[in-house]
């Protein structure tokens, strides 16, 4: 789910900001990083959280393997927050270069900075969990 939501933002940026070559490269790198970050959960969960041949679900819980997956969860959360900040910062240089009045630029930046609200909320959720 997180991959598709963040990838859709990158694809929207690709439609809006495709003029500059560095922006296209930055967006593609963001999509690749997002895929690497979130699709690693599939094999990792299969290896650490699912029972192997001859095991029961209860024996998986006693084996300690699911606790090892928690380490990846923390790493993934930190990298996800960094990715959110990357998504937040990415359009700012292009917006500042637009031939618009200062008032219009501030209004555009206000629209794009609404993403900044999600990062502190995410940090609060992580701290309380």
Hey, what are 78's tokens? Answer: 């930190």
In SS3 terms, the chain reads as CHHHHHHHHHHHHHHHCCCCHHHHHHHHHHHHHHHHHHHCHHHHHHHHCCCCCCCCHHHHHHHCHHHHHHHHHHHHHHHHHHHHHHHHHCCHHHHHHCCCCHHHHHHHHHHHHHHHHHHHHHHHHHHHC
Residue whose token pair is 């270069």: 97
Could you give the angle at the alpha carbon of 102 between the alpha carbons of 99 and 107, nearest 5°? 100
Q: Where are the domains of the chain?
A: 2-128
> How much is the pLDDT for 72?
85
Q: What is the pLDDT of residue 30?
A: 94
Give CA–CA dist 68/62, Å, rounded. 12
**What tens-digit pLDDT sequence spans the chain (129 residues)?**
888 888 988 988 888 877 788 888 999 999 999 999 999 888 888 888 888 888 888 888 788 788 888 888 888 888 988 998 898 888 888 888 888 888 888 888 888 777 666 666 666 666 565
Is 30 exposed, middle or buried (CB count within 10 Å of its CB: 0-12, 13-18, 19+)? buried
pLDDT for 115: 64
């Amino acid at each position: 789910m997180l991959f598709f939501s963040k990838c859709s933002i990158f694809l929207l940026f690709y439609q809006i900001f495709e003029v500059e070559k560095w922006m296209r490269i930055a967006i593609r790198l963001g999509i690749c990083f997002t895929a690497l970050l979130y699709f690693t959960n599939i094999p990792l969960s299969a290896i650490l959280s699912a029972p192997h041949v001859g095991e029961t679900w209860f024996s998986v819980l006693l084996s300690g393997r699911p606790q090892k997956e928690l380490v990846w969860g923390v790493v993934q959360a930190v990298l996800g927050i960094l990715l959110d900040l990357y998504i937040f910062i990415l359009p700012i240089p292009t917006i500042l270069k637009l031939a618009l009045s200062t008032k219009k630029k501030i209004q555009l930046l206000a629209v794009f900075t609404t993403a900044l609200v999600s990062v502190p909320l995410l940090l609060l959720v992580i701290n309380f969990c």
